[in-house]
Amino acid sequence: MRHPQASEVVIKDIISHFVLQLVYCTTVDLKKWFLSLETALFRYRFIIEQPEPQRALMEEIGLSYKALSGSELENVLDKLVLVSRSLGAQSPPTASDIFHMVPFEEVPELVASRRVFISKGHAYIARNQVFPLVATRFRSLLSKALTLTNRKWATTTAEQETDPLPPIVEAISSTYLVLHISSIRSLVRFP
């Protein structure tokens, strides 16, 4: 999430992300581990954000879903109420709730389980239903970034044999493996 005035903490967070991206791009296991934890962190940060920063982030990562305006929402509100009642929701949607209009083919699981209203090729989804789409896009972009980082890292380290950074990155990667193996051993008791 972009902050207009990045504090020292935010800058350190950004730097640590890219250092860890460099460390965890080297093997498939490390990549999977990093993707799962970064996605979990992203999920937490996205959910606690206000709607406007969420919308800005969605646009930045290429998910320009239209949030329904007052009159547009009023036109379909009765249908959204019917869908929410059929799902057993405690409180039906109101005109103050945020709904997005997305192409229905992007939410096949919601369509299949009849958890959305569909009209003219668009599914009308609540703000809380948008997150899986955003998380999937985030994970995909991060996975591509890890692949590119790995390629760049491999070519850079091959060209510069005297660079002190590769041993540091290797040490951090192997530390993860030792910690990961020891945590597995503590879960599965070996005789």
What average pLDDT does range 16-38 have in this prediction?
84
Q: What is the pLDDT of residue 162?
A: 58
pLDDT higher than threshold 80 for residue 91: no
Q: What is the pLDDT of residue 187?
A: 44
Average pLDDT over the chain, rounded to an integer:
78
Cβ atoms 142, 35 nearer than 8 A: yes
Q: pLDDT tens digit string along 131-142?
A: 888 999 999 999
Q: With helix as H, strand as E and coil as C, how does 3-43 read?
A: CCCCCHHHHHHHHHHHHHHHHCCCCHHHHHHHHHHHHHHHH
What average pLDDT does range 39-64 have in this prediction?
88
CA 116 and chain centroid, separation: 22
What average pLDDT does range 144-156 have in this prediction?
86
pLDDT higher than threshold 50 for residue 80: yes
